[in-house]
Structure 1
Amino acid sequence: MAAAAIVLPLGIGMAGAAMAADMPTVTLMVGGIDKQIYLPYQLAQSLGMYEKYGVHVELSTEQNGGVGAEDAVVSGQVNMAGAWYVHTIDFQTKGKDIIGIIQLSVAPGERIMCAKGTNITSPADWKGQAVGVTDLGSGTDDLVSYVSARAGLAPTDYTKIAAGAGQTMIAALKFGKAVCGITSQPTVNAIQKLDVGYPAIDLSTGAGVTKWLGGDFPAANVLVSRAWADAHPTETQGVVNALVATLNWMKTHTAADVANVMPKDFVSNQLSSQDEYIAALQQDWGQFNLDGLGMMPENGPQTVLDIEKAAGKISGNVDLPATFTDQYVQAALKLEGLN
């Protein structure tokens, strides 16, 4: 998914801009910066956390049809990616040493929305139909493959199409290109508000994740080449410090507080009003790794690996401990007196 225009830091001002110019710069592409599942990256920017911890972070986002954030890291287009942890496993099988350095969420934050009137309640019900995913080969593609397999469907029993998010996902459901589609907020809210579809399978938080996936699913992370992180320890630690501080800030603030500091076009747009944004964020608040403050959940990597194997993406051995590190989070927690 191709890089869009750079999202500039908010609320820094002239003095802050001058200060940022004296800091090391890190480029970080997010897999959909206005999606609530990827909220912490921009929230850290809006709160001034990156500059507080000594790094100037240039955020960008990906768009449908181009280079994904995780691939942009591998190619060297950006230094870091805000993307799902699962990609580190996929890259290891391809000989690429990409690691996750802070686990921001413990659930996908996704829902499988099904078109109005279909009455679908289980993956078994979409046999012979098309299901929309963000992009073919994406993490949402894997999730659909996994829940389908657990429901007894073979890959040939249904089809998947790349439906993106926002208006493209809405159109896929509305015009019959897909009977269901996996997506997150604010697209979920828009689908319901427009009466195009309903949530059939909840992978957003808690009980739904356990029911459909079998345990914690570490999703949003910061991915980086191990070689780059080793060569840039100050920048790497600074980004993690900022994000740990952001998660800790979230523990004592509300969804409304978040909405008040985020870019206005993130929280009020054609997909949702600010009130709807806040309600959706509050509902899915449990997806964020606020208890762990960025630490990888103990059984999370194995859950993800099991899903990848069931989805037919991986058949060989994987060295799971080599796909992530908690060292930067541990250092950040010590710095903040939170360990």
Structure 2
Amino acid sequence: MTFTRRDIIKLAGTAAALQLFPAFVHAQGLEKKKVSIAVGGKNLFYYLPLTIAEQRGYFKDEGLDVEISDFAGGSRALQAVVGGSADVCSGAFEHTISLQNKGQAFRAFALQGRAPQIVMAVSTKTFANYKTPADLKGKKIGVTAPGSSTNMMVNFFLAKHGLKASDVSIIGVGAAAGAVAAMRSGQIDAISNLDPVITTLERAGDIRIISDTRSLKDTETIFGGPMPAACLYAAQAFLDKNPNTAQALANAIVRANKWLQTAGPSEIVKNVPESFLLGDRALYIDSFQKGKEAISPDGVVPEAGAATALRALAAYDTAIDAKKIDLSRIYTNEFVKKANQKYPNG
């Protein structure tokens, strides 16, 4: 085999490029070191990986300066990202479908939860006579915020049982002590919320659960397949412009997901703000155990998950045209695949 001078130069150039590529990528660094994340109900277990990534310094390890803004519900956090006051949203996976349906390109790139963890329950005080879903007609149902994933869960539950969203009154009650107070004071007849709010009310005998998505089994029974939940999502334009920054964010979330798979209850309590415990550490630990399996072990969106989410939305939202939704554009697992390679053991 003979080589011309031109062949040798080409080969030499290719070899040099291959050697320099990793260094080149490293030199590129983060396109955006200061990142703002909007979340609706940071204290909820739904978003626990986000808190762990923050509290354990995983974002800082990636060279990021992350500012997290907490809103009353996922719909408010969504508005912040769409409006441009936040770069990334830590919110419900199904919002990416609703956004695409409105002509807006947003994509999930790191999964935090593989089950919604949303629980619907009725008041034992004002709604003790509840027997079937039909009894919800005319009742006041508390959600974290109108338009949030907890509201979507109500709409899905109603549609599944032959009711319309207009058959009930939706009231935003937040995701913490305010939600507990709203139920106990009789302001609402039913609630769609998450832990630790639900376990707080359940333990005190304030509610009776009628739908529960904290376990994978119950989630699949209710939705007919895997239902991706909390995730980091951002505008496609942000991901295109800041791929290294998005990778750093995914790295931190994957590390948090993996840490949560083996962390003991006492470790969990030490790594969350005191205010998250709602004054009862034992209750917080109990709440965590109930929904632990809902936390994604690796940040990967299951292949069938997007289709499940689309079916759930289309079941009650007539504005959703399922045929026009391109599921391949609402999420990507490319960032978390690389994150798992970098942190195979967390």
Shorter-chain TM-score range? 0.7 to 0.9
Residue 42 of structure 2 corresponds to 33
Distance 2:99 2:64 in 1: 27
Measure how far apart 1:122 and its partner are.
4.4
Of 309-318 and 273-282, more deviation after overlay is shown by 309-318
> What's the TM-score once normalised by structure 2's chain length?
0.83
1:83 aligns with 2:91: yes
For 1:162-203, what per-residue CA distance to the aligned partner results, in whole angstroms no more than 9, with x for missing partners?
333333333433343332110111111221344322322212
Q: Comparing both structures, which one devotes a greater share of its residues to helix?
A: 2
| 1:89-128 alignment runs, 5 A limit | 89-116=97-124, 118-120=128-130, 122-128=132-138
Residue 308 of structure 1 corresponds to 313
Q: Give the direction of change, closer, same or farther, for the CA distance of 1:172–1:251 in structure 2 (3 Å limit).
A: closer
Select the residue among 44, 56, 77 that pairs with 1:69: 77
Residue 134 of structure 1 corresponds to 144
1:284 aligns with 2:294: no
CA RMSD of aligned residues (A): 2.2
SS of 1:146's equivalent? helix
Q: Give the direction of change, closer, same or farther, for the CA distance of 1:313–1:220 in structure 2 (3 Å limit).
A: farther
8 Å contact kept, 2:39–2:70 = yes
Distance 2:42 2:173 in 1: 17
Unaligned runs of 5+ in 2: 1-31
Measure how far apart 1:277 and its partner are.
0.4
8 Å contact kept, 1:32–1:61 = yes
Select the residue among 289, 296, 299 that pairs with 2:304: 299
Q: Give the direction of change, closer, same or farther, for the CA distance of 1:128–1:220 in structure 2 (3 Å limit).
A: same
Measure how far apart 1:124 and its partner are.
3.0
Residue 172 of structure 2 corresponds to 162
Q: How many residues align?
A: 311
SS of 1:68's equivalent? helix
Distance 1:262 1:52 in 2: 18
Measure how far apart 1:300 and its partner are.
1.0
The structure that has the greater radius of gyration is 2
Residue 8 of structure 1 corresponds to none
> What's the TM-score once normalised by structure 1's chain length?
0.85
SS of 2:244's equivalent? helix
SS of 1:282's equivalent? helix
Q: Percent identity?
A: 27
Distance 2:72 2:164 in 1: 30
Distance 2:213 2:271 in 1: 27
